[in-house]
Amino acid sequence: MSMFDLSGKTAIVTGGNRGLGRGIAEGLCEAGAFVCIAASSDSVFDAEEEMKKKGYKCCAVKCDLFNDAEIGSAFGKALNMLGGKIDILVNNAGIQRRNKCEDFLVKDFEDVINVNLKAVFILCRLAGREMLKNGGGKIINLASMLSFFGGFTVPAYAAAKGGVAQLTKALSNEWASKGINVNAIAPGYMATEMNTKLIEDKNRNTEILSRIPMGRWGTPDDMKGIAVFLASSASDYLSGAVIPVDGGYLGR
């Protein structure tokens, strides 16, 4: 349907080289968008080539989200490769650190906050400025089930993802009237590298699956539809929302 068509639109997807970000990037490409994937390792260029071989219109930039100046530089490079215009920003990249709260290192806490929250704000601000000049756009942040819950052994991640949910609402309050829709996706338990330890923990895996009505972990492909919806005109009257994509987990 035309309302989901992204032909002629440009997008930046952080962490688009693998996992959920790769699924989102491919979904946007399949809907017609020209997508720039950004990641911290050289594998982003391998992912770019793989996507191009599939026929997708894609480019790539390397970006260290720990470095504020590099974020700005990488954004500028991406914007230039996209022809000087950004219609869609997807803040997907993130890191994880696990430890008991009483033993959690301050350095680990700072690292997670810097990548999972501070960098998200910086990129939203950079993209927002461009979108305000262009008359609008779509910003999609990646929240989490831990935007709603506290979790175990992940205090920094829970704090950051709670912050992403609130940042999404704050940006929406100021920018929705100016044509910028800011929403967040809250993935449920997804079978990605970040969750390898949970998947390999037989007890936790059984416990998690028992609460998911669909009876399975999510996959990167499960992110495509919601990402295209939020990036397209189909979601023009939706802003400030945090949407679970969790196989029914929250409803249990």
Q: Which residues are catalytic?
A: 157
Alpha-carbon span 77 to 97, nearest angstrom: 30
CA distances from 105 to 101, 157, 161, 210 (A): 9, 13, 18, 32
Judge contact between 98 and 154, C-beta under 8 A.
yes
Q: What is the 3-state secondary structure (H, E, C) of the chain?
A: CHHHCCCCCEEEEECCCCHHHHHHHHHHHHCCCEEEEEECCCHHHHHHHHHHHCCCCEEEEECCCCCHHHHHHHHHHHHHHCCCCCCEEEECCCCCCCCCHHHCCHHHHHHHHHHHHHHHHHHHHHHHHHHHHHCCEEEEEECCHHHCCCCCCCHHHHHHHHHHHHHHHHHHHHHHHHCEEEEEEEECCECCHHHHHHHHCHHHHHHHHHHCCCCCCECHHHHHHHHHHHHCHHHCCCCCCEEEECCCHHHC
